[in-house]
Amino acid sequence: MGTDMTSPIYAIGDIHGQLDMLRDALNKIELDGGPDARVVFLGDYVDRGPDSRGVLDLLIEGKREGRNWVMLLGNHDRMFSYFMCDYPVHDAHLLVGYHWFHERLGGIQTMESYGISVSDQDRLYEVHARAVETVPQDHVAFLRDLPLYHREDELLFVHAGIRPGVELADQSEEDLVWIRQEFLANARSYPWLVVHGHTPVQTAEHYGNRVNLDAGAGYGRLLATAVFEGRKCWLLTEAGRVPLEPSPV
């Protein structure tokens, strides 16, 4: 999954169905790096926001066009993929009492973007049947085939983070898409600068050993977009590049 490219690489945090924000982020990237800019998407394309279907359409079209994009798996993407299995699967990492259609998770909004309503009076198999009939197969295949991480020189891109002390090849999928406290609390250096999302913050943050690009787009805040040249990092804004400097954990 690694390459030796030295040109700038761009990263976009958790999108969560915010199609307009995604288009704006891609416009900023093109202005900074041109139409062939290399972009890593950190996962969580669906849930909470109004147009998960539109986000997946855009990403899939970019893949078909051969855009220089890497799209990683997020836990919300996996929950959607699990639901679309022949027999819908519940993500065992969720709290007891939670499920994809819980009001805090956003599966209802994802289904609504496909024109599928979900109510408390529905049986799960009924919603599943409507989804199987409606959700395009290329969306299901796209979600199923997303990689878990991308390594490039001094940078490691992953949705949630990594478990400290475990070799990259031995990291579990559960940690790569779900880990929080054990990763977030670790102030020690990794072999790479880890670029991740998953845990929403008020604005993108740099901690020296990691950069968190989940700025809360799923809750209506900004979609964080960054550019890296080696370990140097800038946020892309309406005014162009703004340095993102390390701060204490």
Confidence of residue 222 (pLDDT cuts 50, 70, 90): very high
pLDDT at 3 over 50: no
| 236 within some domain | no
What are 93-102's pLDDT values in tens digits?
A: 999 999 999 9
**Does the predicted TM-score (pTM) go above 0.85?**
yes
Mean pLDDT of 186-209: 97
Encoded tokens for 26: 């891609």
**Other Cβ atoms within 10 Å of 173 Cβ, number:** 11
Residue 129 falls within a domain, yes or no?
A: yes
The boundaries of the domain holding residue 69 are 39-147+193-207+214-227
A 10 A CB-CB count for 112 gives 16
* Domain-embedded: residue 186: no
* Domain contains 126: yes
- The answer to whether residue 160 is domain-embedded is no
Quick check: is 134 in a domain? yes
Q: Give domain status of residue 161, yes or no.
A: no
CA–CA distance, 204 with 145 (Å, rounded to integer): 28
Task: At 168, give phi and psi (nearest 5°).
Answer: -55, -45
pLDDT at position 247: 82
Total domains present in the chain: 1
User: What pLDDT shows up at residue 248?
Assistant: 57
Question: What phi and psi, each to the nearest 5 degrees, are found at residue 71?
Answer: -120, 120
Question: For residue 122, is it within any domain?
Answer: yes
Percent of the chain with pLDDT over 90: 96
Mean per-residue pLDDT over the chain, rounded: 95
From the CA atom positions of the chain, what is the Rg in Å?
18
On the question of pLDDT at 232 being above 70, the answer is yes
